[in-house]
């Protein structure tokens, strides 16, 4: 079993808040993590997709009050939206009786719905934490290429053979399209949404061109925006926003799009082996997505990620703002990375305090103009040490 980095954070939140929402895409390991022994108190687990477990909550207030001495874990909590008002009443009663923390752990696969439903009823009573797919710190640097190719969903990463990993990801995509997504959004034909998801994989790490996507899919731009918002809400796709400071430059303002798990992106593109990946036209974009998602998986909430691109060609793949510290990060697949002028110009514009090029090598070494070539694992360690 792989230890997850957020275990300590989750334990801390459960000791401080009456309710904690653990959010992440399906099959990312939420249930496994939730059933670890976080607190000294006993826990009880209810899967709200199970008819028998759901039946136990036919009278939710009565059932939950019977288990006030336990940590109640509610999986796929979006299935029972009226539960949040009940939880509020019990939490408030518990507070009056001195039970202040560690009562409920809510697991959800759709971030916006869960945030909205819980936020309206449980404001001030709930904390939120995301569980992302496995990252490089969790699996170790020796597994970098395996993690990049297979992605970070535990069953995909831990499969005994690539063919088993490929099969798992193919089934994951099929199940999401045919069973899971219809639960959250409008009835979209599975094949239409597969085509859209695949288009995004082809456009990995690029700025979104809604008109192009709409034309290729035979729909309007508003429909594209709705499809994209759905995949973002399900934590399957990321929109990375452009640097927005008022710096007197003509900046491009569309977000960059990432299919968040590279293994899923590779399956959508029918990339069946690491060798196929290295020969594929999207290899550079896939590497960028892999770096970005690993870095963002460990960022504190206070850190804002962006990218920079000007109409004149200046570009920075990833910007991290740590208060007064601004880190500029360029991402290259080459073992002998070279810095382009556009990166230097971008760094001068945003007044970057640290400048890095992430490359596949292991040694950190200086380049000109205060740029450091660095491995992904070393960059992640430096971020964790801030």
Q: Which helix (H) or strand (E) holds 371?
A: strand 371-374
Please check whether residue 48 is in contact with residue 79, taking contact to mean a CB–CB distance below 8 angstroms: yes
Q: Count CB-CB contacts under 10 A for residue 210.
A: 15
Per-residue pLDDT, 81? 83
pLDDT tens-digit profile of 298-318? Answer: 998 889 899 999 888 899 999
Most confident of 28-42, 232-246, 276-290: 276-290
Q: Which of 159, 144, 162 is nearest to 276 (CA)?
A: 162
Per-residue pLDDT, 82? 86
With 80 as the cut, is the pLDDT of residue 116 above it? Answer: no
Give residue 28's pLDDT band: very low, low, confident or very high (50, 70, 90).
very high
Phi then psi for residue 253, to 5 deg, are -110, -5
Most confident of 79-88, 208-217, 260-269: 260-269
Q: Which of 302, 298, 367 is nearest to 330 (CA)?
A: 367
Query: Across the chain, what does the average pLDDT equal?
Result: 92
Q: Give the separation between CA 67 and CA 70, rounded to whole angstroms.
A: 5
With 60 as the cut, is the pLDDT of residue 337 above it? Answer: yes
* pTM, 2 dp: 0.93
Per-residue pLDDT, 284? 97
Please check whether residue 255 is in contact with residue 207, taking contact to mean a CB–CB distance below 8 angstroms: yes
With 90 as the cut, is the pLDDT of residue 251 above it? Answer: no
Torsion of CA 232, 238, 244, 249, to 10 degrees: -120
pLDDT tens-digit profile of 371-381? Answer: 999 999 999 99
With 90 as the cut, is the pLDDT of residue 41 above it? Answer: no
Residue 23: CA count within 13 A, CB half-sphere: 21
Find the mean pLDDT for residues 339-362: 95
pLDDT tens-digit profile of 152-207? Answer: 999 999 999 999 999 999 999 999 999 888 877 667 899 999 999 999 999 999 99
Per-residue pLDDT, 248? 54
Give the residues across from 304 on adjacent strands: 321
Sorted by where each starts, the structural domains of the chain and their CATH numbers stand as 7-130 (3.40.50.300), 136-384 (1.10.10.10)
């Amino acid at each position: 079993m792989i230890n997850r980095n957020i275990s300590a954070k989750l334990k801390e939140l459960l000791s401080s808040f009456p309710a904690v929402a653990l959010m992440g895409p399906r099959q990312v390991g939420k249930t496994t993590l939730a059933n670890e022994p976080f607190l000294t108190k006993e826990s009880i687990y209810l899967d709200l997709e199970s008819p028998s477990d759901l039946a136990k909550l036919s009278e939710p207030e009565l059932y939950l009050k019977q288990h006030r001495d336990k940590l109640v874990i509610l999986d796929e909590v979006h299935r029972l939206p009226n539960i949040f008002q009940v939880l509020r009443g019990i939490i408030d009663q518990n507070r009056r009786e001195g039970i202040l923390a560690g009562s409920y752990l809510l697991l959800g696969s759709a971030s916006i719905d869960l945030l909205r439903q819980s936020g309206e009823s449980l404001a001030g009573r709930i904390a939120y934490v995301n569980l992302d797919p496995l990252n490089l710190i969790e699996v170790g640097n020796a597994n970098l290429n395996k993690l990049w190719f297979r992605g970070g969903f535990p069953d995909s990463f831990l499969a005994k053979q690539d063919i088993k990993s490929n099969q798992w990801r193919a089934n994951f995509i099929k199940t999401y399209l045919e069973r899971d997504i219809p639960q959250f959004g409008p009835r979209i034909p599975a094949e239409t949404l597969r085509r859209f998801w695949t288009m995004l994989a082809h456009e990995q790490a690029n700025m979104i061109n809604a008109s192009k996507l709409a034309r290729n899919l035979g729909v309007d731009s508003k429909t594209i925006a709705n499809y994209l918002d759905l995949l973002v809400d399900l934590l399957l796709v990321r929109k990375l926003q452009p640097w927005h400071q008022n710096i007197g430059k003509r900046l491009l303002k569309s977000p960059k799009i990432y299919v968040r798990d590279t293994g899923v992106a590779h399956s959508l593109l029918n990339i069946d082996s690491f060798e196929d990946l290295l020969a594929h036209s999207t290899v550079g974009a896939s590497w960028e997505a892999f770096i970005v998602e690993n870095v963002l998986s460990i960022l504190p909430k206070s850190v804002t990620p962006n990218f920079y691109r000007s109409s004149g060609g200046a570009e920075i793949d990833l910007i991290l703002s740590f208060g007064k510290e601004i880190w500029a990060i360029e991402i290259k697949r080459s073992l002998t990375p070279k810095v382009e002028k556009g990166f230097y110009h971008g760094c001068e514009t945003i007044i970057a305090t640290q400048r890095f090029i992430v490359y596949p090598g292991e040694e950190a070494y200086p380049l000109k103009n205060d740029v450091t070539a660095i491995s992904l694992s070393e960059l992640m360690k430096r971020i964790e040490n801030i």
